[in-house]
Amino acid sequence: MAVLLRTTSCAAATTAGSSSTLLATTFRRDRRLLPSRASPARRAFTTRASAEPLEVCAKASITVPDRLGDCPFTQRVLLTIEEKNLPYELKLVDLANKPDWLFTINPEGKVPIVKLEDKWVADSDVITQVLEEKYPQPSLATPPEKASIGSKIFSTFIGFLKSKDTNDGTEQTLLSELTSFDSYLKDNGPFINGGTISAADLSLAPKLYHMEIALGHYKNWSVPDALAHVKTYMKTIFSMDSFVNTRGLPEDVIAGWRSKVMG
């Protein structure tokens, strides 16, 4: 049985001209009641769970203190770490008041950032690739020919969200992408790589979560019931423990997209 152990602590980060406080939350997974003849996969899991946790800098919530924020790219990284059963320490950063130390480890001042082998690595594409190479089991690799499935949904969602003209075709463009994805899942699902979840799902799912929350709030819109395979896909992934552990609060998602809607 997998047990999630969570401890929370606060640490002060002080620089030459200013001081800031970051919240460090350590998530660890452990195995309890293991059979005496554990499988190789379970032995590997136990070994990794006792290892030094990865350090991950992530966006802090803008609505609730000491909570993870709403960034879909950060969630992609955290999902990858969780699905690979790796312990990690989460350092929440107030992006409206970025501390000086953030620019020291990443001159662009962006998150997510993960410390891997004493080196801070930025960009979710790069981070997830490095994690796959460094921790190949369980594999989350997506075959190249499937890696771009559903990749246009996020940009078409943003186009529809920003649109102020109901006749400009942005809703139909999004529906076309979702319909194409629904057809793919019908023939190849339940996940992008068939029966097993992969990196492509962990990239797409946080974006679908943002789409559901933002369009539901700002446009009273939801995925049509006719796209049953997409709806099942979203429901399945959104209910995964790893997804629940790493998602932003709905109110953060709504607040995060407000400027796009009002701009």
CA–CA gap between residue 105 and residue 107 (Å, rounded) = 7
pLDDT of residue 48: 52
Residue 96 maps to a domain: yes
Instruction: Output the average pLDDT for the chain.
Output: 85
DSSP three-state, residue 217: helix
Instruction: List phi, psi (to 5°) of 104.
Output: -70, -40
CA–CA gap between residue 10 and residue 12 (Å, rounded) = 7
- For residue 251, what are the domain limits? 54-262
Catalytic residue among 71, 81, 111, 121: 71
Contacts of 178 (CB under 8 A, 6+ apart): 153, 223, 227, 230
Q: How many domains does the chain have?
A: 1
CATH number of the domain bearing residue 199: 1.20.1050.10
Q: Is the confidence at residue 120, as pLDDT, over 60?
A: yes
Whether residue 10 lies in the annotated active site: no
Q: Is the pTM of this model over 0.75?
A: yes
pLDDT in tens, 2-44: 223 333 333 333 333 333 344 444 444 442 333 333 333 333 4
Residue 16 maps to a domain: no
